[in-house]
Amino acid sequence: MTGFARARVEKIIRNAGAKRVSADAIDRLNEILTNYGMNLAKYAVEIARHSGRKTVKESDIKLASTK
């Protein structure tokens, strides 16, 4: 699953200094970032529930990212 617009992912790779980028490199980074974001978000949801909240807050994301 890829969750982000290809143009945004390509921009990140170009900002990182790439002169040229293959299409499948963009797709691969998109997939990696989507999976990473999903795993982090799942953990943040668990943290929010554990705290008795239905709302995922910034502090949940922050804590999840330190895992």
Residues in touch with a second copy (CB under 8 A): 3-5, 8-9, 11-13, 15-22, 24-25, 27-29, 32-34, 36-38, 40-42, 44-45, 48, 54-58, 60-62, 65
**CA–centroid distance for 43 within its chain:** 13
Residue that the structure tokens 């040229």 belong to: 20
Beta carbon nearer to a second copy, 27 or 51: 27
The nearest distance, CB 15 to a second copy, in angstroms, is 7
- Which has the closest alpha carbon to 9: 24, 26, 21? 26
Q: At what angle do helices 23-50 and 6-15 cross, to 10 degrees?
A: 100
The nearest distance, CB 25 to a second copy, in angstroms, is 5
